[in-house]
Structure 1
Amino acid sequence: MNRTKEIWMSGFALFSMFFGAGNLILPPLLGFKALDQWLIVALGFAITAVVIPIMAIYAHAKLQGTLYDFGKKVSPLFSTVYCVLIYIIAIALPAPRTASVTHEMAIQPFFETPTLLTSTIYFLLVLVFVLNRSKVLSIIGKFLTPLIVLILLLIISIGIFSDASIANSGVSGAPLVDGILEGYQTFDAVGGVVVGAVLIISLNLRGHNGFEEKKELIKKSGLIAGTGLFVIYAGLIVVGALYSSYFPSDIDRTALLAGLSLETLGSIGRTFLSVLVALACFTTAVGIITGTADYFKGLFGNSQKAYITTGVIGCVIGIIVGSYNVGFIIDIALPALMFIYPITIILILLNTVPSKWASPLVFKTVVLATFIFSIPDFLKFLVNPKQLEPIVNSIPLAQHSLGWVLPALAAFILTNLFQKTSTARSDS
C-alpha cells in the first residue's frame, strides 16, 4: 500500500475510534452555555479531549508495546491493576454509552422499539467486527470515517455561515476549567491509551515490523486525527453558541444536537444525524472492545480463546448497560472519571517527556501525589460535598476538581532536582 495513503487511512481510523458518543453530544452544549466565551471553552476542551489523547498516541509510538508499558515504571503490580481498571471502565461505561446515544438519536425518533433491542443488535454487530480483528483498521479508515467527517462538516459549515448570531454573554466564571472537565466525559485520554495499542497491533498484523517506520507512521496518523478532532470540536462548540437563542435553556445534550442538525440541514438533517451517530458511536465501540480483547489475549499467553471470550463479555456488558439512557450513564461515570483520569493524564505525560526526566522514582512520586490529591475529586460524588470543604479549600485548584495538578507538578520538579543533586554528589 502507498505509504501516504496508509498514513491517512490510519489517521482516519484513529479519528473514528476516538470520535464516539461523547464527542458528538458534549461540544454543542458547551458552546450553548459558553456563548461569547466559546473560544476559551473550546481551548479547555481541547486540552483534555485532543492534546492529551494525541500525546497518548505519541507515547505509544515511543513505547510500541501495550497499555501495560505505560505504568510499568511505577511497578509491575500497579501497571497490571491500572490496566485491568482501565479496560473494565472502558467496556462498562464509554462503550455501552455509544449504544445508548445511538438509540436516543438514531433509532428512537423513527421507531418505538425498546433500548434493549437496539443495544442487543448493536453489540452483536460490534462483535462481528471484533472477531474480524485484522480488518478493523482498514474498514474503519477506508469507509466509515469519511462519511462521519462529511456529515459533520456539512452541519458545521452551514451553521457557521448562516444568519445565526450569539445573542448573549456567557456567565461562567471559569470557562477554561469548564472545557477541561467536560473533556473528561469524552473518555478520550482513556481512549488514547486503549486505541493506541489497537493501532500498534493492527500495524504489526499488516507487516510493519520496523520500530522507526512504525514510530513515524503513528506520529503522523496521530497528527491527522488530532487536527480533525480539534476542527470538529471547535466547530460544534461555535455552532452551539450561534444557535443558543433557538432552544430552551434547559435543553439536554442529545436534544440540542438533534435540533442543530434540523436547523442546519433541514428535515433531512435528522436522517443525516442518525447515520452520523450510528457510524461514530459504532467505530468507537469496536475500538474499545477490540483493545480490551487484545490486552486480555496478551495477558493469557497470546490466547485466541481469551480474545474471543473477552470480546463476548464486553459485548454482553454493552448490551446490558447500553439499555440505560445517556444521562444516567454520564452521571454514574463521573466518580470513575475523577478517579482514573488524573492518573491516566500523568502516565501519558510522563511517557512522552524525555526518559532522563522520567525515571522510575519520578513515576512513583508523581503518580502517588496525583492519586492522593485527586481523592477529594471523586469522593465528592460519593459523600456530602460539605464534609470535604475544609480539605478542598486548603488545596489550590481543588475547587475546580483539579487539586492534583500542582502537587503532581511539584513532585515532578522536586524529584528530578533530588536525583540531579544525588548524581552530582556521587560523581564528586
Structure 2
Amino acid sequence: MNNNSSGGKAIRGLDVLILGFAFFATYFGAGNLIFPPQLGLNSGSDFLSGLAGLTLSGIFLPIFTLIVIGLNGDVHSITGRVGKNTYNVLLAALMLVCTFVSIPRTCATAIQLGIQGNLPSAPFIPLVIAYFVISFFFVADQNNVMDRMGKYLTPLLALILVIVAFAGIFNPLGTPVAPAVDHPFVNAFLGGYNTGDVLVSFIMAAVFISSIYGKGYTTVGQRNKVLIYCGIVSFILLLIIYGSLLYMGACVSGDYPQTIGRAELLVAIIQRVGTWVMIPMGIAVVLACLT
C-alpha cells in the first residue's frame, strides 16, 4: 500500500490483517457462535433474507459505527452533541453490564461449553483461575492488547471457524424447509441487533484508534484509511462465518423444533458435521470467549 498524501508511513498489509483480525475477534464472542444457527433455523428456505438482515444489523452497523467514530476522532465528538455527560453515563452503564454479566458469562461459557463439553471431568474453579490469568496476559499492556489478539488468538479462531464453515457449505446437512417466521429478514435483523455489537464499537473505539496510532499511523488520513481497511477485513470474516452458521441452521430446519436451545442446536450441528469438529470447536469457543 502507498504512502498517503501527507507523506506518512506506508500502510503495511500485515498491520491491516493483524488489526483487522483483532477487530473481528472483538465483535465475535461465544454468543455470536450460537445465534446465527438459530436465525437460520427460523429462516429455513428463505435463509438469504435472513442473512441479509443479519449482515445489516450484526455486521454492517457495528463496523460502520466504529468507522464513523474514527472519522470523527473519538466517541466524545458524537455523544457530546447529545449532552456533556452522555459519554460518561453510557460508558458507566456498559461497564457495569460487562463486569457483572458479560465477563462472568464468557468465562462460564468457555469452560462449560468449550472445555467441559469435551472433558466433562475437568475441574471448574482451577479453570476459572486459569482463564482470567490468560485474559490478564492479553490485556495487561493496553498499548499491545489488540496486537496480541490479532497475532495469537484470532488467526487460530478464524482458521477453525472458516474450515467448519466450508465443511457445512460444501456438504449440506439437509434441505431447508419453509420459514417458521413471517418475515425472516426482520427476524434476523432484530436478532443481529440484539447482540449489542453496536455498543461494542462505543466501548472499544478508543482502543482501536489507539492501536492504529501504536502501529505508527499518526496522521488523520492514515488513521482513517487503516480503520476502513481493518473494517473490510473484519466484515469479510464475519460474513463468511455468520453466513455459514446461518446456512447450516437453515439446512436442519426440518429436523429440529423451533424451541430447541441455541447451544443445543449448535452442538447438534457440530455433531452432524462430524465428530472431528468437536475438539476444534471447543478450542474456538474458548478463543471467542477470551477475545
Work out whether 1:86 is the aligned partner of 2:100. no
Aligned to 1:223: 232
CA distance in 2, matches of 1:113, 1:180: 38
Task: Call closer, same or farther: CA 1:155–1:94 in 2, change over 3 Å.
Answer: same
Distance in 2 between residues matched to 1:187 and 1:78, nearest whole Å: 18
Question: Given the alignment of the two structures, is residue 15 of structure 1 paired with residue 24 of structure 2, yes or no?
Answer: yes
* C-alpha distance in 2 between matches for 1:59 and 1:178: 26
The structural deviation recorded for 1:280 is: 1.4
Does residue 69 of the first structure (1) align with residue 70 of the second (2)?
A: no
Q: Comparing both chains, which one has the higher relative contact order based on Cα–Cα distances under 8 Å and sequence gaps of 6 or more? A: 2
- Which structure has greater helix proportion? 1
Q: Secondary structure at the match of 1:244?
A: coil
Shift of 1:188: 0.9
Aligned in 2, Cα 1:79/1:143: closer, same or farther, shift over 3 Å?
closer
Q: Could you list the runs of 5+ residues in structure 1 that have no partner in the other structure? A: 284-428
Partner of 1:305: none
Change (3 A) 1:167 1:77: closer
Judge conservation of contact 1:134–1:205 (CA < 8 Å) in 2.
Answer: yes
Give secondary structure in 1 for the equivalent of 2:190.
Answer: helix
Secondary structure of the structure 2 residue equivalent to 1:209: coil
What is residue 262 of structure 1 aligned with on the other side? 271
Contact 1:57/1:219 (CA < 8 Å) preserved in 2? no
Matched, 1:192 2:201: yes
Distance 1:151-1:4 versus aligned 2 partners, 3 A rule: same
Deviation at residue 117 of structure 1 after TM alignment: 4.6
- The whole-number CA distance in structure 1 between the counterparts of 2:149 and 2:15 is 13
Q: Distance in 1 between matches of 2:21 and 2:271?
A: 27
Would you say the 8 A contact 2:63–2:231 is kept in 1? yes
2:58·2:192 contact (CA, 8 Å) conserved in 1?
yes
Cα shift at 1:250? 3.5
- Which residue does the alignment assign to 1:102? 110
Q: Residue 55 of structure 2 is aligned with which of 46, 49, 57?
A: 46
Q: 2:220 aligns with which of 205, 211, 228?
A: 211
| Per-residue deviation, 1:247 | 4.1
Equivalent position amino acid for 2:130 in 1 = I
* Aligned AA (2:282): S
- 2:138–2:148 contact (8 Å) kept in structure 1: no
Deviation at 1:167, TM superposition (A): 4.5
Matching residue within 187, 192, 195 for 1:183: 192
Alpha-carbon distance between aligned partners in 2 of 1:97 and 1:229, rounded to the nearest angstrom = 22
TM-score, normalising length: structure 1? 0.61
Q: Deviations over 1:63-112 (max 9, x none)?
A: 222x3333111111223212222222233333332222212321222133
1:154 to 156, 163, 166: 163
1:122-144 deviations in Å (ceiling 9; x for gaps): 22321222112222222211232
Alpha carbons 1:31, 1:38 under 8 Å: kept: yes
Distance 1:157 1:120, change over 3 A: same
Alpha-carbon distance in 1 for matches of 2:180, 2:41 = 12
Confirm or deny: 8 A CA contact 2:91 2:203 kept in the other structure. no
**Alignment match, 1:295:** none
Q: What is the alpha-carbon distance in structure 1 between the residues aligned to residue 238 and residue 65 of structure 2?
A: 14
Give the letter aligned to residue 80 of structure 1. N
SS at match of 1:76: coil
Deviation at 1:235, TM superposition (A): 1.1
5+ long unaligned stretches in structure 2: 1-9
Q: Is the 8 A contact 1:148 1:280 kept in 2?
A: yes
Tell me, what secondary structure is at the counterpart of 1:49? helix
- TM-score calculated relative to the size of structure 2: 0.88
Write the distance in 2 (CA, Å) between the matches of 1:262 and 1:253. Answer: 14
Q: In structure 2, what is the Cα distance between the partners aligned to 1:136 and 1:208?
A: 17
CA shift, 1:273, in A, is: 0.6
* Structure 1 residues 140 and 44: CA distance shift in structure 2, 3 A: same
Alignment-derived partner of residue 276 in structure 1: 284
| Cα deviation, residue 50, structure 1 | 0.7
1:270–1:46 CA distance, 2 compared to 1 (3 A): same
SS at match of 1:28: helix
CA apart distance, 1:116: 4.9
The structure having more radius of gyration, on CA atoms, is 1
Give % identity. 27
Output the CA distance in 2 between the equivalents of 1:96 and 1:69.
32
Question: Which residue does 1:165 correspond to in 2?
Answer: 174
Change (3 A) 1:131 1:163: closer
The alpha-carbon deviation at position 2 of structure 1 amounts to 6.2
Q: Distance in 2 between matches of 1:10 and 1:177?
A: 32
